[in-house]
Amino acid sequence: MNATLSLYRDILRTARRWPSKNRKRIIEEIRSDFRAHKYESDPTKLKVMLEEARIGLASLRMQVAELGDPAQTSIQYQFGQK
């Protein structure tokens, strides 16, 4: 569980640096997605969702590092699609 919390915090920290006027909405989507799956207990689903979150974090970090013009940015964050 500590690894999940750490991942969640890393994603939020990175999202706070997102150079976009949509930053607040993106952060709320991240929070909402994690909350929606808070009580998931199926180990297979958890493994898949955590891997998706790690991949998403890596992608978000790359985009934050590479983006130059905040006015032209757009992101959609999806976690644990049903």
SS (H, E, C) 17-40: CCCCCCHHHHHHHHHHHHHHCCCC
| Tens digits of pLDDT across the chain (82 residues) | 588 999 999 999 999 988 888 889 999 999 999 999 999 999 999 999 999 999 999 998 988 888 754 544 555 556 665 5
pLDDT number for residue 67: 78
pTM above 0.85, yes or no: no
CB 12 within 8 A of CB 43: no
- The H or E element that residue 60 is part of is helix 43-66
pLDDT number for residue 22: 87
57: how many CB neighbours lie within 10 A of its CB? Answer: 17
Nearest partner of 82 among 35, 41, 33, 39, judged by Cα: 33
Residues 6+ apart with CB under 8 A from 40: 46, 49, 80
